[in-house]
Amino acid sequence: MNQPYAVAKKYLSNPSVLYPEQEQLRDIRKKLPLRVLSTADFRHWQTNGYVIVKQAIPAEQVQRTVDFLWEFQEMDAHDPQTWNRAQLRDHEMKELNGSGMVEAYHHQTFWDNRQTPRVVDAFVDIWDREDLWVTIDRANLNTPNQGARRFGGFIHWDADTTLEPLPVNVQGVLALSDTTPEGGGFQCIPELFEHFAEWRRSAPKNRNPWRPDLESLPWQPRFIPMQAGDLLIFNSLLAHGIRPNTSADQVRLAQYIAFTPAQEEVAELRDWRLASWRQRTPPESYAFPGDPREWERTRYPLAQLSELGEKILGLKRW
């Protein structure tokens, strides 16, 4: 496939890639009927750069995932004395340090959520195509940001916003807890996305491709409330980030889930995905430090996939 941007191996999990045949997602005119989103939802998505799918997974799946995250992080949900553990390995992406990232990628609960039809169909609505692969991504368990886990929050893009043409990609956050402004969670600048083209034309040529200068913007980051089980899908050109957890006793839990067009003809990428699933290993990327204990590989069995799960991994072709 002709790709104007080389896909470095470190981005195989969630490449910031432009597909030459793929128009910007905000410009898509639907050909497939909407499966999950309403017409108003889709309009909101294209205007503001994000959309929330209510109750994307059932409550019992939420609870199973939450239980696993507490277990994996060696914390007790009912004992705040266990919450202030330092992260096991620092992030090269410095803004993530202290944010509560959970270096797990292949637990059965994660794959159950990924292969939930309502989750997959929401991304079919976004991309206007069915042949999608799920990203191999992690989760978040962010207790109050105190002591060794002090964290100030951030706003960034996960795509280089100076490239021409611009990258095309999406990201997603599955809420595993109700969120509040003081409890952390997702924040973004929808107005910057809405007016991105004109802002980009007038922005300094030497600006940071990955971080907007918040002091020069006429808009400020906005907290986006979610309830456990909700899925927030956002355009990679939406400036976004994690809010600090300034509460005394609230915990934010989430799983990162997104889908991109399947690249079944790229053997290296497909082989890597299958090996990552079978061996329970993290993406090979500066953004994903992995678990130094290697618990997924040594303590947990291979995740079982449905027929849909096999397709979104790449084990079976669409």
What CATH number did the domain enclosing 235 receive?
Answer: 2.60.120.330
Of 188, 184, 179, the C-alpha closest to 155 is: 188
Cis, peptide link before residue 165, omega less than 30° from 0: yes
Decide if pLDDT at 112 tops 50.
yes
Check residue 227 and give its pLDDT: 98
Decide if pLDDT at 226 tops 60.
yes
| 15 inside domain | yes
For the chain, what is the mean pLDDT?
89
CA gap 72, 78 in Å, rounded = 15
Structure tokens at 226: 């979610």
CA gap 105, 257 in Å, rounded = 11
| 184 inside domain | yes
User: Which of the pair, 292 or 300, is modelled with greater confidence?
Assistant: 300
Decide if pLDDT at 120 tops 70.
yes
Check residue 4 and give its pLDDT: 33
| 2 inside domain | no
Check residue 101 and give its pLDDT: 87
Instruction: Write the DSSP assignment of 71-99 as a string of letters.
Output: HHTT--TT-GGGTTPPPSS--SSGGGTTS
- Number of structural domains in the chain: 1
CA distances from 25 to 138, 184, 245, 283 (A): 24, 28, 32, 26
Report pLDDT digits (tens) over 64-93: 999 999 999 999 999 999 988 776 655 455
Residue 16: band (very low, low, confident or very high) from pLDDT cuts 50, 70, 90 = very low
Range of the domain at 286: 9-313
Q: What backbone phi and psi angles, to 5 degrees, belong to 45? A: -60, -50
Number of other CB atoms surrounding residue 297 within 10 Å: 14
Q: Cα 128 to the chain's mean position, in Å?
A: 19
Q: What backbone phi and psi angles, to 5 degrees, belong to 183? A: -90, 10
Cα angle, residue 226 at apex, residues 104 and 185 outer, rounded to 5°: 55
Residue 99: band (very low, low, confident or very high) from pLDDT cuts 50, 70, 90 = low
Decide if pLDDT at 12 tops 50.
no
| 3 inside domain | no
| 236 inside domain | yes
